[in-house]
Structure 1
Amino acid sequence: MIFTMNITKRFTSVFIALGIAVGLFSQPVSQFGEGERVVFLGNSITDGGHYHSFIWLYYMTRFPNRDLRILNAGIGGNTALDMYKRLDSDVFSKNPTTLVVTFGMNDSGYQEYNGDDGARFGEEKYRETYENFKLLEGRLKGLSGTKIVMMGGSPYDGAAKIDGNTALRGKNDVMQRIVAFQKKSAEENNWEFLDLNAPMTAINQKFQVNDPGFTLCGLDRIHPENDGHMVMAYFFLKEQGLDSNVVSDFEVNASKKSVVRSANCEISNIRGNEGTLSFDYLAYSLPYPLDTIPRGWNAKKSQADAMKYIPFMEEMNQEVIKVSDLEKGDYKMFIDGEEIGTWSSDDLNKGVNLAAETKTPQYQQALSIMHLNEVRWEIERNFRDYAWIQFGFFQERGLLFANNRASLEALDKETGNNGWLRMHRDNYARMMHPSFRETRQAEMDMLVTKIYEINQPVKRKIVLVKI
């Protein structure tokens, strides 16, 4: 593990430059285990966001035999009080073994920060949030068999220069105070804790020095795009201690035709003659596939764009091949007959990160998993839109899960006055039928089953040919 330890040391300086101290998080978040059901409870950033899906994709590819489930329990517009009201019907009913709890964006309020007395408004919202959280905390204390993770949410970016969007003065200060009492509660209740607000704010501040319009928090200062969600996933995985976990790392001595070392992989059947070296390679993990498509309404940034801000590739996506004692020259690399690229003997002696090479068969295998996971995420979003209607509209009208003619008529009476209801109406008209929900759930189950069938690493043949 010398290689990965050196990576971690090297990027300590990067985080110091970003203003992110080593050991930022006060309590570690344990890794997810085989058979776990991890539920993320939150607001719209969780509801419509990708960070939890990106986290699951990491587990799908890095731990192919660790079959687990990560479930979305976010609803747009929610506060801690709203979450408290739907615990039984929408959260505990998912039977979580781990429950990740995040709130604060809606709790802390909005436009009044720029009013006549924004400071007083912020104090009132802080106290209101604290009182609502105590209700939530009381229910969580009563849970048995469920690990609780308090997660300080992504920040409101009041510093970015964004045309047409006036920043709310002091809002994120109140959000950071909310994070502070989340942390205190975690300490008092022996819960796990991490904070996304401080490290994401530090990245924003770092890049805004040269680009005042830079933000991880979207053009509304609230909702991160795909790159921001990947940053969130990165900090979560880092807190789980996965920043030194390699896909594989091995060295082959060409002249001796021997394995010098191997981590998380097997190297066998080494053969060679003048100008050619071949061997079998079986990694126990797959590289993490990064989506290059901006996904979502009006999205302009992709998951892969996050690599400009975080050392994810260097810390968490290393599939390193090193070949020593090669005859000097340039070599073409083939994997299972596919030409991957050309490297010099010096490059190969230093080590090449195959996880950065999208042509490899193992990367393509991981890419298919990414696409299946994305379709699963899209179906799960239908369930979250259905939950939004139930808890955001029907609950206060005594029609929670009624799913009958009366509920549809009540909905139709209001759609003309509420654009959000109009947006969700068609989805509800389908999802109100049990058979439709059962079919959609079966589709998700089938996708996950297929993912855990095809995510098993395959033995590959690597051939180096001198040019």
Structure 2
Amino acid sequence: MSKKIILFFICSTIASGLFSQPVSQFGEGERVVFLGNSITDGGRYHSFIWLYYMTRFPNMNLHILNAGIGGDTAFDMYERLDDDVFSKNPTTLIVTFGMNDSGYQEYNGDDGAGFGEEKYRETHKNFKLLEGRLKKLSGTKIVMMGGSPYDGVAKIDGNTALRGKNDVMQRIVAFQKKSAEENNWQFLDLNAPMTTINQKFQANDPGFTICGLDRIHPENDGHMVMAYLFLKEQGLDSNVVADFEVNACDKSVVRSANCEISNIRGNKGTLSFDYLAYSLPYPLDTIPRGWNARKSQADAMKYIPFMEEMNQEVIKVSGLQKGAYKIFIDNEEIGKWSSTDLNKGVNLAAETKTPQYQQALSIMHLNEVRWEIERNFRDYAWIQFGFFQERGLLFANNGASLEALDKETGNNGWLRMHRDNYARMMHQSFRETRQAEMDMIVSKIYEINQPVKRKITLVKI
């Protein structure tokens, strides 16, 4: 099956009703909080979403915040709403759960179906507690988000699939959707479309998965798929970076979308003009980031039509003499195209050499550093709510809390892993300094993400 046919199938499936209610686009001054488990806690999908807004809407003052904690269930999220979620003053709150709620190894026991039913009922009971609190929250848009799937189909050496786990997770998504409908909340499902992608590619490669080698935690490519599905549900699949056409014969602007074209000049074999786009292209990371990561964000382009739908910076030049042309932007050679290609249109967002792409790339790297600092805060939150809360030491941050932690580190590898981070983050001055670093990075991003007028020159070879 060809890539185009697969992409068409995925797009058609998504468009045919997997999402029952639209998720509105984020707006000026919003504080968007993603509440979830480890897939949110250590994941990048929300960071990828913010990067889209950073580059596509450079004048929008937007903040996206991570409120995920590894291992959390709906009940755990309910327990930390006041101190870890509502305290972030969200204008939009995205709520996702189900992976831990639905349980694990017992699916392959003597009564896997009975275990699944028990976990489903328990999850529904816990969710009603969470739902009750969310109903009382005023001034905040609520989005129920069905989480990424457990991949029980992929052939993965050394990892036996849990039979029926994702079926239970899909039942959990169903009551999330029902709750959204009853409460007039927004809703989207990641489980079904991600499962569809897995199924299509597993037909040719049984070992394929976008859910990670543990069948649970998506790698960078899976998180980009999640970001794409979220942005698509927001109706951003037709939002161009820029799209314009210049006629070389009469030196006119035929059309322009989200950009300005001016100062068109030319003589035999050359054409130049000034170009100011109102957005930047979306930069795709080609490095597999994270522990034992094998796939990069850019690898997701093999599964989703993100470039075709959401990353179009199209230059079209009609009326050129037949032949090949070099394109220069601000005197930097970008590439060579035929007059036929230029007449059809060339997507500059796919060209990493352009000055505007390099500008966007610096934003991507700054956003990655911001994400890394935010991870320190999430590891600190994990200690607080996963260890200290049940011991009556929530946010005590004193000698007694560190002593209690050290008593358990010998028996708990997760506590050992987070001990050094907590020993620093327990000090208010350290947390304030780290927060100031993040604030400075975000401020710098919104300073350097402003589009710049460029000079584009075509030279006939």
Q: Same fold (TM over 0.5)?
A: yes
- Using a 3 Å threshold, how does the CA distance of structure 1 residues 118 and 303 change in structure 2: closer, same or farther? same
Q: In the aligned structure 1, how far is the partner of 2:32 from the partner of 2:348? A: 31
| 1:171 maps to amino acid | K
* Per-residue CA distance 1:364-396 (angstroms, 9 max, x = gap): 000000000000000000000000000000000
Q: How does 1:64-79 map to 2 (within 5 A)?
A: 64-79=58-73
The yes-or-no answer on 1:246 pairing with 2:204 is no
Q: How does 1:107-126 map to 2 (within 5 A)?
A: 107-126=101-120
* SS of equivalent to 2:18: coil
The yes-or-no answer on 1:454 pairing with 2:448 is yes
- Using a 3 Å threshold, how does the CA distance of structure 1 residues 18 and 116 change in structure 2: closer, same or farther? farther
* Per-residue CA distance 1:230-284 (angstroms, 9 max, x = gap): 0000000000000000000000000010000000000000000000000000000
Q: How does 1:233-272 map to 2 (within 5 A)?
A: 233-272=227-266
Q: In the aligned structure 1, how far is the partner of 2:265 from the partner of 2:109? A: 75
Q: Is there any run of 5+ residues in structure 1 with no aligned partner, and where? A: 1-9
| 1:460 maps to amino acid | R
Question: Which residue number in structure 2 is paired with residue 412 of structure 1?
Answer: 406
Question: Which residue number in structure 2 is paired with residue 366 of structure 1?
Answer: 360
TM-score (norm: length of structure 1): 0.97
Q: In the aligned structure 2, how far is the partner of 1:154 from the partner of 1:18? A: 19
Give the C-alpha shift of residue 67 in structure 1.
1.2
Question: Which residue number in structure 2 is paired with residue 7 of structure 1?
Answer: none
| 2:383 maps to amino acid | I
Contact 1:269/1:280 (8 A) holds in 2: yes
Q: How does 1:26-425 map to 2 (within 5 A)?
A: 26-425=20-419
Q: In the aligned structure 1, how far is the partner of 2:318 from the partner of 2:139? A: 50
Question: Which residue number in structure 1 is paired with residue 460 of structure 2?
Answer: 466
Q: In the aligned structure 1, how far is the partner of 2:76 from the partner of 2:93? A: 16
| 1:129 maps to amino acid | T
Q: In the aligned structure 1, how far is the partner of 2:394 from the partner of 2:256? A: 56
| 2:275 maps to amino acid | Y
Q: In the aligned structure 2, how far is the partner of 1:160 from the partner of 1:19? A: 21
Of residues 422, 433, 441, the one that matches 2:435 is 441
Give the C-alpha shift of residue 20 in structure 1.
3.9
Contact 2:425/2:431 (8 A) holds in 1: yes
Contact 1:328/1:345 (8 A) holds in 2: yes
Contact 1:18/1:203 (8 A) holds in 2: no
Give the C-alpha shift of residue 11 in structure 1.
8.7
| 1:66 maps to amino acid | M
- Using a 3 Å threshold, how does the CA distance of structure 1 residues 17 and 319 change in structure 2: closer, same or farther? closer
Contact 1:251/1:321 (8 A) holds in 2: yes
- Using a 3 Å threshold, how does the CA distance of structure 1 residues 16 and 88 change in structure 2: closer, same or farther? closer
Contact 1:18/1:202 (8 A) holds in 2: no
Q: In the aligned structure 2, how far is the partner of 1:433 from the partner of 1:287? A: 40
Structure 1 window deviating more from structure 2 (10-19 vs 273-282): it is: 10-19
- Using a 3 Å threshold, how does the CA distance of structure 1 residues 17 and 399 change in structure 2: closer, same or farther? closer
Give the C-alpha shift of residue 285 in structure 1.
0.1
Contact 2:10/2:196 (8 A) holds in 1: no
Q: In the aligned structure 2, how far is the partner of 1:20 from the partner of 1:131? A: 30
| 1:313 maps to amino acid | M
Q: In the aligned structure 2, how far is the partner of 1:436 from the partner of 1:19? A: 48
| 2:326 maps to amino acid | K
Count of residue pairs brought into register by the alignment: 458
* SS of equivalent to 1:22: helix
Q: In the aligned structure 2, how far is the partner of 1:409 from the partner of 1:252? A: 70
Contact 2:6/2:200 (8 A) holds in 1: no
| 2:138 maps to amino acid | S
Contact 1:76/1:388 (8 A) holds in 2: yes
Q: In the aligned structure 2, how far is the partner of 1:200 from the partner of 1:450? A: 34
